[in-house]
Amino acid sequence: MNKKLYPYLQHSHLLQYISKCKSGEILVGQELMKMLDKLLEHFEDPNIKIDFEGAHKRIKFIETKCRHFEAPFAGKPFKLELFQKAFIEAIYIFKIYDDEINKWVRKYQDVLFLVGRKNGKTPLISAINLAEFFIGEMGTKILCASNDYEQADLMFQAINAMREESPSLEKVTRKNIKGIFFGNPKRPKKKGKFSYRNKGSIRKISARTGAKEGRNIKVAAVDEVHELKDNSSIMPIRQALSTQDEPLYIELTTEGVVNDGYLDERLKEARRVLNGELDRPRWLIWLYTQDNEQEVWQDESTWVKSNPGLGVIKKWSYLRNMVEEAKVSKSMRVFVLSKDFNIKQNNAQAWLTPDDIQNEEVFDLEEFRGCFAIGGVDLSRTGDLASARIILMRPGDNKKYTYQKYFIPESKIEKLNKEDRNRFEDWIRKDLVVVSPGNENDFSLVTKFFVTLYQDYDIRVFKVGYDRWSAGYWSKEMEDYGFDTVPVRQEFSSMSEPMKLVETDLKSKLINYNNNPIDKWCLENTALEVNGKMEIRPVKVQGQEDKKIDGAVTLIIAYRVYIDNRSEFMQLVGR
Residue range 497-519: mean pLDDT, rounded? 96
Query: Is 458 domain-assigned?
Result: yes
- Percent helix, strand, coil in the chain, to 5, is 40, 20, 40
Residue range 395-404: mean pLDDT, rounded? 95
Q: CB neighbours of 176 closer than 8 A, spacing ≥ 6?
A: none
pLDDT grade for 64, boundaries at 50, 70 and 90: very high
Q: Which residue from 79, 5, 14, 10 is spatially nearest to 43, judged by alpha carbons?
A: 5
Summarize pLDDT for 284-331 with one digit per residue, the tens. 999 999 999 999 999 999 999 999 999 999 999 999 999 999 998 888
- Are 317 and 386 in a shared domain? no
Residue range 531-546: mean pLDDT, rounded? 80
| Phi, psi angles (nearest 5°) of residue 568 | -65, -40
Q: Which residues of 496-529 are buried (b: 16+ CB within 10 A; e: fewer)?
A: bbbbbbbbebbbeeebbbbebebbbbbbbbbbbb
Residue 8 has pLDDT above 90, yes or no: no
CA distance 216 to 500: 46
Count the domains in the chain: 2
- Are 413 and 469 in a shared domain? yes
- Are 560 and 468 in a shared domain? yes
CA distance 130 to 114: 20
| Backbone dihedral region for residue 439 (phi beyond 0: left; psi -120 to 50: alpha; all else: beta) | alpha
Residue 213 has pLDDT above 60, yes or no: no
Compare 53 and 236 and report the one with higher pLDDT: 53
Among 316, 339, 362, give the residue marking a domain's end: 339
CA distance 140 to 248: 11
Residue 229 has pLDDT above 50, yes or no: yes
The amino acid present at 230, given as its one-letter code, is: D
CATH code, domain with 426: 3.30.420.240
How many percent of the chain have pLDDT more than 70? 94
Query: Is 347 domain-assigned?
Result: no
- Are 18 and 68 in a shared domain? yes
CA distance 291 to 305: 8
State residue 128's pLDDT score: 97
- Are 391 and 314 in a shared domain? no
Pairing mode, if any, of strands 526-530 and 536-540? antiparallel
Q: Which residue from 482, 492, 477, 469 is spatially nearest to 560, judged by alpha carbons?
A: 492
Q: CB neighbours of 556 closer than 8 A, spacing ≥ 6?
A: 376, 495, 498, 499, 502, 538
The amino acid present at 342, given as its one-letter code, is: N
Look at residue 139 and give its three-state secondary structure.
Answer: coil
Summarize pLDDT for 37-50 with one digit per residue, the tens. 999 999 999 999 99
CA distance 207 to 151: 10
Angle among Cα 22, 28, 29 to the nearest 5 degrees reads 115
Query: Is 248 domain-assigned?
Result: yes
Low-confidence winner among 119-133, 206-220, 450-464 (lowest mean pLDDT) = 206-220
* Residue ranges of E strands in 164-241: 173-176, 179-182, 201-206, 219-223
Q: Are 35 and 287 in contact (CB under 8 A)?
A: yes
Query: Is 183 domain-assigned?
Result: yes
Summarize pLDDT for 170-189 with one digit per residue, the tens. 999 999 989 999 998 887 77
Residue range 229-240: mean pLDDT, rounded? 86
Look at residue 236 and give its three-state secondary structure.
Answer: helix
Residue 573 has pLDDT above 80, yes or no: yes
Q: Go through the chain and tell me how many residues it has.
A: 575
Query: Is 375 domain-assigned?
Result: yes
Provide the domain limits for residue 113: 3-339
Look at residue 97 and give its three-state secondary structure.
Answer: strand
Query: Is 28 domain-assigned?
Result: yes
Query: Is 438 domain-assigned?
Result: yes
- Are 328 and 384 in a shared domain? no
- As beta bridge partners, residue 527 has 350, 539
- Are 97 and 213 in a shared domain? yes
Radius of gyration of the CA atoms of the chain, in A:
29
Residue 382 has pLDDT above 60, yes or no: no
- Are 335 and 360 in a shared domain? no
- Are 149 and 223 in a shared domain? yes
CA 463 to chain centre: 33
Low-confidence winner among 24-33, 72-81, 196-205, 361-370 (lowest mean pLDDT) = 72-81
Summarize pLDDT for 458-482 with one digit per residue, the tens. 999 999 999 876 666 888 999 999 9
Among 297, 312, 339, give the residue marking a domain's end: 339
CA distance 219 to 231: 18
State residue 4's pLDDT score: 65
- Are 20 and 106 in a shared domain? yes
- Are 462 and 517 in a shared domain? yes
Q: Are 528 and 351 in contact (CB under 8 A)?
A: yes
User: Quick one: CA dihedral 516, 522, 525, 527, positive or negative?
Assistant: negative
CATH code, domain with 251: 3.40.50.300
Summarize pLDDT for 270-290 with one digit per residue, the tens. 999 999 999 999 999 999 999
Residue 563 has pLDDT above 90, yes or no: yes
CA distance 539 to 527: 5
Q: Which residues of 34-72 are buried (b: 16+ CB within 10 A; e: fewer)?
A: bbbebbbebbeeeebeeebebbbebbebbeebbbbbeee
- Are 483 and 561 in a shared domain? yes
Q: What is the mean pLDDT of the chain?
A: 91
What angle separates helix 121-135 from helix 82-92, to the nearest 10 degrees? 40
State residue 214's pLDDT score: 47
- Read off the pTM: 0.81
Among 339, 363, 390, give the residue marking a domain's end: 339
The amino acid present at 561, given as its one-letter code, is: V
567 burial (CB, 10 Å; 0-12 / 13-18 / 19+) is exposed
Query: Is 510 domain-assigned?
Result: yes
